[in-house]
Structure 1
């Protein structure tokens, strides 16, 4: 490959540029399906023409209700060629949340799977039915010749905030042109072989998959996460870059040694994780297994104003940290808005872009929390003397117990240190004496023989007494929904007997 687009190159022209150079090379694979650069270029031309005929225009969003697949990547590039902004949505999104998102997005077109129906959905979704089409509908009778170059006003429009009941769209401030920002931030090199293990309706998997493609690389998409399949895919396709979240990391190291030993992982250059805190014991296991130079972490919001990255070697010197600020600016503020500069002192994390830099995002359906040009995502944290950031919790998740502020994340981090705990969520339940009592919901595998007393004994000595949960509930079902979110407010409502759309609570052991 001799061609590499420079910053500012239209994303709509990416498939054609690489098709001319490496047309027979696979650009994306998912299960048994593969898509070459030539097929991506020609078929996205046809779909783009269909989108234009259906009403897609520059500045409009096209909503993609498609799972991880070669068709999803094809649809994304068809959006770019039509000048539209792709918005990837979960096919398992709850009706009310999908309704709210589509009402905010007002998409020009909604692309769905064959056989999918939105007819039983609420108001905005029903309205969107008139715009719902499949890829086959769009490509039918359309020529595959090239279109005039187009540039969407925003290159992505991920959604967030569904756990509050008020979803928002985070419209990227960057138009649909190439930029070295994301590839540099994630350490993605030209021609990389990337494995994306999570759905592309999440921001980080979308960004890393597309960034790999922008640099002429090849992406393997998992349609469903499987621990051993992840390892076999690395060896089968010579993968050098992998995206994981800690829950996946836990399931991989839980494989028997003889299963993990079947795979060399010789091609693997780096494993990146983000999205949720990684237990110390788990990170140590990965570093011991792969070596610190291959285990990397990123902390930042979809808004991308600022963020931190961290290599395994740095983590060993600053255990528990998420790294130093590597783009944009961050600072801590106390509740009165005064800056906190003392190492080890906690405060709310505020961010901003480097002065003189363009805005990185715009909300649709929400307003940012801003103080004097600095914005907050609601996270709490502290910096050490070397400038490494340690996360504490989200401001909104704080629980006041007997007048003392308790951050659930600290307790949850201690709980998942237990090797038979998959996930843990700590909520506050009403208490006549202290106002709230701490209640831990703990997800353990069905084969686990751990009891609530075992968990309680494990926590003893790891946490101050006022941080110990008063009750522990063991469940065998995931605490995350189809979108990968922990809906803390809904879990609490279940335990209070309030109506929700989720399942039944597990068993409480006081």
Structure 2
């Protein structure tokens, strides 16, 4: 192992939680591995910076983390989003992220004059990646987790942030109440962890008029897989990120790249499989003749309704496009006759006619057998630290209403 295999705290990099600066301290590593509790953002960022400074392996851990799990340098641990169950612990090499730091420097012209911001918790791999990229390259970084969208916008303006990493859900919250407020200093928005609809892209462009808005597809296991550009057709997640080779076999997306994880330190997924040096995580989709990737959804969420394979993500995307700004989650319920039936959950006020309008749309857009049979309203759909809906919590909520 050499220093090139490890993250670095560049001399030019500075880090902030709110207005609190994370200062360098003399770090003496007491072990090769540091567990960093994620509950308090300031302590989490300080612990991360100290681990990097001490050349330790580390894990920014949620409260449920089992401390018997370990990694040795240059490996580190991070987590899957946990959308459909308990998060899995990911083991990966630091060089797998360093390779994409250097690729992003070339791709987006990242320099030490840039100021990066991220809106999520460090336990989420997107925010962890963003902060480590800033630390390694030498950019200032602002962790804006826990702030209301208005306060996040004010911080982005006050600190003249130029680079923003965020999920679509975070971008929706950030831009929805902006009204006449703009974020003119942002020059690049990198959005992952969900579909960036045309309507949300338009909202972001209005609030961030000078930003190049790039959607990327990836996962905790794969890192970057595709990246969009100005020529990407609406609905596609872009073409292969530099260094990535894509293939689709029997409808399943396979990835070869230097950015892949090394395996699960805890938990497992039957959909994650290796073949030679290629990895699939059970994402289903297709490549068009120009190399653009179109996703149908995860194999793990696919359900069978009257002998037809149905991806809940496709129905969620259709509702989001037809009703801009609306959050919709589709949940399958086992059914003895048809295999499954679907329930649509909307985040909306209770006193609107929205459920009726969505019901009519679903019946018109999809076959009666596939269209959700129930449309329910939830005042505040629960989310995971990754910004994705908490499906188990929603399933329990639906069960309580039966």
Normalising by structure 1, report the TM-score: 0.69
Unpaired runs of at least 5, structure 2: none
How well do the aligned residues superpose, as a CA RMSD in angstroms?
3.1
**Equivalent position of 2:17 in the other structure:** 30
Distance (Å, rounded) in 1 between the aligned partners of 2:209 and 2:363? 32
1:225/1:395 Cα in 2 relative to 1: closer, same or farther (>3 Å)? farther
8 Å CA contact 2:85, 2:392 repeated in 1 = no
Q: CA distance change for structure 1 residues 330 and 422 in 2, over 3 Å: closer, same or farther? A: same
Residue 170 (structure 1) aligned with residue 90 (structure 2): yes
Mapping of residues 304-319 of structure 1, within 5 Å: 304=222, 307-311=225-229, 313-315=230-232, 318-319=233-234
Per the alignment, in what secondary structure is the counterpart of residue 224 of structure 1?
Answer: coil
Q: Across the two proteins, how many residue pairs are aligned to each other?
A: 394
Taking the TM superposition and a 5 Å limit, the aligned residue runs for 1:23-422 are 27-35=14-22, 39-40=23-24, 43=25, 45=26, 48-49=27-28, 51-52=29-30, 56-57=31-32, 61-67=33-39, 69-90=41-62, 93=63, 98-99=64-65, 101-103=66-68, 105-106=69-70, 152-154=73-75, 156-160=76-80, 162-163=82-83, 165=85, 167-174=87-94, 179-185=98-104, 187=108, 189-191=110-112, 192-255=114-177, 257-258=179-180, 260=181, 263=182, 265-287=183-205, 290=208, 294-304=212-222, 307-311=225-229, 313-315=230-232, 318-326=233-241, 327-334=243-250, 347-353=251-257, 360-365=261-266, 366=268, 368-419=272-323, 422=326
Give the conservation status (yes or no) of the 8 Å contact 1:439–1:471. yes
SS in structure 2 at match of 1:410: helix
Q: C-alpha separation between the residues in 2 aligned to 1:389 and 1:414?
A: 18
Other structure's SS at 1:468 match: coil
Alignment counterpart, residue 376 of structure 2, candidates 454, 458, 473: 473
CA distance in 1, matches of 2:122, 2:314: 29
Aligned partners of 1:308 and 1:420: how far apart in 2?
Answer: 25
Higher share of residues assigned helix: 1
* Residues 451 and 164 of structure 1, relative CA distance in 2, 3 Å threshold: closer
Counterpart CA distance in 1 for 2:260 and 2:170 is 33
Verify the 8 A CA contact 2:319 2:358 in the aligned structure 1.
yes
Structure having greater relative contact order (Cα 8 Å, sep ≥ 6): 2
**Deviates further, 229-238 or 401-410:** 229-238
User: Is the contact between residue 101 and residue 137 of structure 2 (CA under 8 Å) also seen in structure 1?
Assistant: no
What is residue 492 of structure 1 aligned with on the other side?
A: 395
For 1:66-90, what per-residue CA distance to the aligned partner results, in whole angstroms no more than 9, with x for missing partners?
3464432321232234442121123
CA distance in structure 1 between the partners assigned to 2:259 and 2:294 by the alignment: 27
DSSP 3-state at the match of 1:72:
helix
Distance across 2 between alignment mates of 1:266 and 1:421 = 22
Query: Structure 1 residues 298, 380: closer, same or farther in 2, change over 3 A?
Result: same
Structure 1 unmatched runs, 5+: 1-6, 108-150, 335-346, 497-504
Alpha-carbon displacement from aligned partner over 1:333-360 (angstroms, at most 9, x marks no partner): 21xxxxxxxxxxxx1111122xxx5864
